[in-house]
Structure 1
Amino acid sequence: MERDAAGVLKAAISGILALIVLLGGISPSFAQTSPAQAPAAAAPPAQVREMMQLMQTPEVKQWMSTQMATAPAGGSAAADQMSVLSGLLQHARRHVAMVSDAAMTLPFQIGNASSLFLGEIAANGWPRMVAQFLAIFLLGAMVESLARYAFRRRRRRLAAMAGMHLAPRVIPALIFAAATVLALLSLGWPPLSQSIAIVCVVALIVQRFTICLGGVLVDLIGLARAEEERQGITAPTMPGRVVALFWYRRCATFVIYFMLGWAAIQSMEPLGYSPSARLLVGYILGIGLLLIAIESVWSRPHKDEKRGHGISWALTVYFLLLWSLWVAGFNWLLWLGIYVLLLPRVLAVSTIAVKSLQQTEASFLATRRIATVLLDRGVRALIIAVAAIWLGQMLGVGADTMAAGETMVDKIARGVIGGIVILLAADLLWHVIKAYIDGKLLDSSVDGGATDEEKARRARIQTLLPIFRNILAVVIAVIAALMVLSGLGIEIRPLIAGAGVVGVAVGFGAQTIVKDVISGMFYLWDDAFRIGEYIESGSHKGVVEAFSLRSVKLRHHRGPLTTVPFGELGAVKNLNRDWTIDKISLNVKYDTDLVKAKKVIKQIGQTLLENPEFGPHIIETLKMKGVEQFGEFAIEIRLSMMTKPGEQFVIRRNALAMIRNAFKENGIEFAVPTVQVAGDRDAEVDAAVARYAAHARANGEPAA
């Protein structure tokens, strides 16, 4: 069971990658079908040469141009379309006829090639040549087996290390390639055998690395799927192991078959086969590729019974159409069809691979943000760029077309392909820069323990880097757009001059925006405020939360967020710089012992200074400054302390509570306003009492 599992893990690339390699497998060697590559025709007869010379005379050229200029315009569009269709039909007929004629001469060419190759082998000795070919086929596999045995004991330890999931598979493949190339270089080869041996070595190495990387991808997908199941994710993003192994086996089969066919066709060239004969063999071998693709589509796992058959039939017809275009010689249509089906699936597989690597190597990539971006965006950009450049090569659009004289269509095609590459490079550059800046912002967070100088530096970084990031985004976008326009043949110097004029006009029409942007630049230049600082400006106050090119966002201490343009700020009061002095006023009675009160307050200040929570934030502790003034009902005394910005509020509240308790313990009373009301009510009461006593005595009654 372990041996079967190991064989299964070696067998494939993943999901949809089989179709990717399937269609990508139609290489230029299989697709060299241009009539220009056919064997040179025999020399034309003398009459034909005379006619061609006559066509080059100025008189004939002038007469032909006149006739074309005076031709009736009606029906020209239809005539052009008919001529295009007729040209395509003639091209297909010539191509098929060329390949068909090669079938008649193929037995003769096989006989010549066999005698040529066997004669070289016989001249150099059969045992020696057989041994040399066996060496390049077997030496790499033998050395790789030894490497696998060495890695078997250390595989678990390497897999547990960050970034080492690739090592147990990639290193033996590298050893295989090195041993095979060494066998090729260390042996002496005759000319024909050397060409064939080089082709065989290339085919072996490509096969080995395709299988190796496919196995790595299957391992990563399996680990990522296991991680999702461990986390309890109900909707997994990774394909199942059955799907991955299915496409892995199909991909391995396809790559082996394709590279064998490629090696056979490439080996035919030094043996003297004509281009048409090589094309014929390629088309015949291409039937095998077609069958592998169709079988993969129809036997794919987990397909819907109703909808799946319709997709299978559609893909089967599509593959047959592509093979027919290839045989007919329409390479540009062939590659367009391949790219329509290929590119989305390549990007999907690359996304799955990157996501799997990120999940399985999360600890390794957590501190390597740029590596993560290069994996995510770089692989995608590389795939699209290579696809665009390769498509341009297949369509005959290269860097040398301008020197050879290019048509408008070639110029536009070259500009579009170059524009795609430029935009992809700009996108990758922007995401790398953004990842670097975001990492710096995350590392420079003002939270956590740090010195005051370090906190100030971090706050400065938090303020300036977002502005710098936005400026870089604009610069990269503008430069990329100008480069794309230049590649399309558009003169950009008038655009730049016009943009300057438009900029001046916009500046006059949007003076407020210009004022805001310039004011913001000077505020940042003067370091007037930073992220996280509390500022006041006119009617606006709050904590600075974020910047843009023209405004600042202030969070009020009660919650509202205010966006203030820089042009409206004016003078800014920063309440979070260096230090702050907090003053406290107390009212005590006139009979208060001020010396005693000063001692009590001094003791409270010392207690605050010794407190581990408040002490680090106190620059000058609480102390009594003296009598501020004599009030109507109290003596007003003034207290002060110097603290770090923003810390005075908490320290002040605790200091007031301590002062109240200490004054109560030491008999010091706070003065409060009192009201005394005076009148004649007491005199009236005394008079009433006296009258009552006199009346009682007169009547002989006892006084109360």
Structure 2
Amino acid sequence: MMTSWGAVAQTPPAASTATVPPPAEVRQIFELMEKPAVKQWMATQAPTQPLAQPAAQPSAPASTAAPAQPAAPAGEMSGEQMSVLAEFLGHTRTHFNLVSGAAMTLPDEVENASEIVEREVQPSGWAVVSFELLALFLAGAVAEVVFRMIVPRPRIKQEDGAVTTVAHHAATNLSYRVVPALVFCIATLVPLVLFNWPPITQSLAIAVAIALIVSRVTISVGRILVSLVTLPHADGARDVSRETAMFWFKRSCTFIIYFVFGWALIQLLAPLGFSNGSRYLVAYVLGLGLLAIATEAVWSRPAEGGHKSATASWMLTIYFVALWLLWVAGFNLLLWIGIYLVLLPRVLRISTLAVRSLDKAEAGFVARKRIAAVLFDRGVRAIIITIAAIWLGRILGFAADRMAAGETMVDRIVRGSVGGIVILLAADLVWHLARAYINGRLADSSLEGTISDDEKARRARLQTLLPIFRNILAVVIAVIAVLMVLSGLGVEIGPLIAGAGVVGVAVGFGAQTIVKDVISGMFYLWDDAFRVGEYIESGSHKGVVEAFSLRSVKLRHHRGPLTTVPFGTLGAVRNLNRDWTIDKITLNVTYDTDLVLAKKVIKQIGQKLLDNPDYAPHIIETLKMKGVEQFGEFAIVIRLAMMTKPGEQFVIRRNALAMIRTAFKENGIEFAVPTLQVSSEGHDADANAAAARYAAQKTNQAAAAAAGTEPAA
């Protein structure tokens, strides 16, 4: 509309209407256009917004049409590239002209604004308006002071009888800092609704109320974060020291409060008649204050690790100055990218520390609730990153409706990028929730402790299957997320899926052993052939099952070595830890043994084993004598047997054998051992003859050796 007014002002009136006086509205338009602010704005808009062209232009004949431009030679910029560069430089030049021209017209605009304020305040009077503004500034603070007087800081009684204030209790501290801030915000809005504000004064009141509320919420949230990130661990250590947290809390609050009140001032300039150039100029001057706050924080920040790098301080200072220059030049995209690079990682780190501290705090909202803790942690990160991505899209000039319905290449890329970020965040949240649930089930199904046999078997099965399911789930979520992101960016994923299928078949043929191992492992787990913690034997491999992967099992031998066996080569498996085991003991006693007495003694030993509290829970059928196994060459072989839980038979057997030896000795029962008896009666002559022959043989051998001939037989 202002451009049209400029076109009308520059068009000479027709001769036939020269004697007719212009209407009052036209005279008001001419008077308005004579104001310096309007002239300055029109001057800055002329290069970028040309005057309206005639409605219709005669079309040039085809023969006189401009010839097609030849393509730019290699190594030279094309016309489109030159146009983009020219537009870029033109934007910078126009922005500088706009701001520099505002410095000349700012005094006149200030005088005009004062007149507007006088006309605004005149009906009510300065006293009434001042009282209303003072009430707006003080209402929240007064209401909060009254609330704190009525509701004092609560005290908490500890288990040892000591009483501590709320500052030492995380959950109550959180609520006590939130509620007064809510009281402040509600009380600040009361004068805004209660009083009848004039139009411009109402704009000022709204901006001030927003600034006050944001400032109070910033202080409250900052104190909560300081309390959380400085909570000590069990060993007394802290993630962030109290001094460091308070330093950054004060600087951050100062920065945000300065920024929000500067924003309120900039918002007030528009209804007071200030031009865009003047508003930019005031904003950039106020921005020097933000630059000073950031620079002071960089140079006075606490030393990390005992020293502070001057090089890092200079680099950050130059970086912040560069950000301010980008802002002044009007490069908002580069400005926000630079802000994100500095701010976003630190915001994510602080949010993570705060959530984890809240999780570890006593009586915290998410204490001892793994899913809630992960949902809170990853959810906060997802919200922060999503807001940052959407805001960056708006800085690029893509509103929500355009990003949703635009069909240009840039629209699709921006829409796909924002959608991809959301998809990756959702996948990250789903994965961490699933992993937290699985890890929680693994922690709750520990095999240690006094549990029943059925419960122990169920927990062992969970310990076996859940880690494999967790790995498979991670791969599935990652593949689905990547495919959805590519689809959102406009990439056809159908050929990718088909190609992946073909590649999968080729890899399957080329890696038959791996496929065999994976499929065999699936069937072993399906058959529940073994579990983590069980002792198995398969061929030459034996040991306790320690862990699984998709293609192999790890067996820990009882002597220590760890063997990794592929499922495909495992073969038949003998599980020594299922249900029960029968241990058989064989004893050899002499032929004069009283078998009835032996059976009675063994029965007594079996009863003693049952009476022992260390062995009784593991014995299913105690030690019994089964009877005579066979008559040997030197002994009667008797067989003993007992049924125990898997893996417990070895200890019980050793103690049973020791008890059997003692009991047999006390009852006169002897163990039979093979013996060799040699008798010399009636054989002395034969022995003497054999000795004589042996002596003669030795003599012949000695003589033959001396003569060098064969000895006689």
Match of 2:215 among 197, 207, 230: 207
Question: CA 1:453/1:662 → structure 2, altered by over 3 Å: closer, same or farther?
Answer: same
Q: What is the match of residue 218 of structure 1?
A: 226
Q: What is the match of residue 26 of structure 1?
A: none
Shift of 1:172: 1.6
In the alignment, is residue 450 of structure 1 matched against residue 451 of structure 2?
yes
**Unaligned segments of structure 1, at least 5 residues:** 1-34, 688-704
Q: What is the match of residue 11 of structure 1?
A: none
1:405-430 CA-partner distances (Å, limit 9, x unpaired): 45545544543444344333322332
Shift of 1:613: 0.8
Task: Supply the distance in 1 between the matched residues of 2:83 and 2:418 (Cα, whole angstroms).
Answer: 28
Question: CA 1:306/1:432 → structure 2, altered by over 3 Å: closer, same or farther?
Answer: closer
Q: What is the match of residue 17 of structure 1?
A: none
Question: CA 1:561/1:182 → structure 2, altered by over 3 Å: closer, same or farther?
Answer: farther
Shift of 1:404: 6.1
Q: Secondary structure at the match of 1:536?
A: strand
Q: What is the match of residue 171 of structure 1?
A: 179
Q: Secondary structure at the match of 2:587?
A: strand
Letter aligned with residue 664 of structure 1: K
Q: What is the match of residue 671 of structure 2?
A: 670
Q: What is the match of residue 545 of structure 1?
A: 546
Letter aligned with residue 518 of structure 1: I
Letter aligned with residue 512 of structure 2: Q
Q: What is the match of residue 599 of structure 2?
A: 598
Q: TM-score scaled to structure 2, two decimals?
A: 0.80
Q: What is the match of residue 337 of structure 1?
A: 338
Letter aligned with residue 179 of structure 1: A
**Unaligned segments of structure 2, at least 5 residues:** 1-40, 157-163, 689-713
Question: CA 1:648/1:58 → structure 2, altered by over 3 Å: closer, same or farther?
Answer: farther
- 1:253-272 pair list within 5 angstroms: 253-272=254-273
In the alignment, is residue 97 of structure 1 matched against residue 97 of structure 2?
yes
Task: Supply the distance in 2 between the matched residues of 1:117 and 1:40 (Cα, whole angstroms).
Answer: 31
Question: CA 1:398/1:530 → structure 2, altered by over 3 Å: closer, same or farther?
Answer: farther
Shift of 1:124: 5.8
Letter aligned with residue 200 of structure 1: V
Question: CA 1:72/1:387 → structure 2, altered by over 3 Å: closer, same or farther?
Answer: closer
1:605-661 CA-partner distances (Å, limit 9, x unpaired): 111111111111111111111111111111111111111111111111111111111
Q: What is the match of residue 76 of structure 1?
A: 76
Shift of 1:298: 3.6
1:468-514 CA-partner distances (Å, limit 9, x unpaired): 11111011110111122122221111111211222222222222222
Contact 2:552–2:566 (CA under 8 A) maintained in structure 1? yes
Shift of 1:592: 1.1
Indicate the larger mover: 393-402 or 169-178: 393-402
1:14-57 CA-partner distances (Å, limit 9, x unpaired): xxxxxxxxxxxxxxxxxxxxx99x979999667x336xx549x5
What fraction of aligned residue pairs are identical, expressed as a percent? 63
Shift of 1:183: 4.5
Shift of 1:192: 4.2
Task: Supply the distance in 1 between the matched residues of 2:433 and 2:370 (Cα, whole angstroms).
Answer: 9
Contact 1:99–1:279 (CA under 8 A) maintained in structure 2? yes
In the alignment, is residue 196 of structure 1 matched against residue 196 of structure 2?
no
Match of 1:49 among 32, 45, 54: 54
Higher relative contact order (CA closer than 8 Å, sequence separation 6+):
1
Task: Supply the distance in 2 between the matched residues of 1:568 and 1:626 (Cα, whole angstroms).
Answer: 42
RMSD: 3.6
Q: Secondary structure at the match of 2:560?
A: coil
Q: What is the match of residue 478 of structure 1?
A: 479
Q: What is the match of residue 141 of structure 1?
A: 141
Q: What is the match of residue 240 of structure 2?
A: 238
Q: What is the match of residue 514 of structure 1?
A: 515
Question: CA 1:623/1:43 → structure 2, altered by over 3 Å: closer, same or farther?
Answer: closer
Indicate the larger mover: 654-663 or 250-259: 250-259
Letter aligned with residue 427 of structure 1: D
Q: Secondary structure at the match of 2:240?
A: coil
1:115-140 CA-partner distances (Å, limit 9, x unpaired): 55554555467666544433332222
Q: What is the match of residue 320 of structure 1?
A: 321
Q: TM-score scaled to structure 1, two decimals?
A: 0.81
Q: What is the match of residue 391 of structure 1?
A: 392
Question: CA 1:363/1:540 → structure 2, altered by over 3 Å: closer, same or farther?
Answer: farther
Shift of 1:76: 3.4
Contact 1:398–1:414 (CA under 8 A) maintained in structure 2? no
Contact 1:162–1:364 (CA under 8 A) maintained in structure 2? no
Contact 1:54–1:60 (CA under 8 A) maintained in structure 2? no
Q: Secondary structure at the match of 2:546?
A: strand
Q: May I ask how many residue pairs the two structures share in their alignment?
A: 638
Shift of 1:540: 1.9
Q: Secondary structure at the match of 1:77?
A: coil
Q: What is the match of residue 4 of structure 1?
A: none
Q: What is the match of residue 21 of structure 2?
A: none
Letter aligned with residue 238 of structure 1: V
- 1:547-626 pair list within 5 angstroms: 547-626=548-627
Shift of 1:207: 0.5
Q: Considering only CA atoms, is the larger Rg found in Structure 1 or Structure 2?
A: 2
Task: Supply the distance in 2 between the matched residues of 1:327 and 1:566 (Cα, whole angstroms).
Answer: 66
Contact 1:552–1:565 (CA under 8 A) maintained in structure 2? yes
- 1:402-551 pair list within 5 angstroms: 405=406, 407-409=408-410, 411-551=412-552
Shift of 1:202: 1.8
Indicate the larger mover: 141-150 or 644-653: 141-150
Task: Supply the distance in 1 between the matched residues of 2:207 and 2:330 (Cα, whole angstroms).
Answer: 25
1:193-244 CA-partner distances (Å, limit 9, x unpaired): 44433322221111112112222333445543xx69x74x6xx753461x44
Q: Secondary structure at the match of 2:286?
A: helix
Match of 1:180 among 178, 188, 191: 188
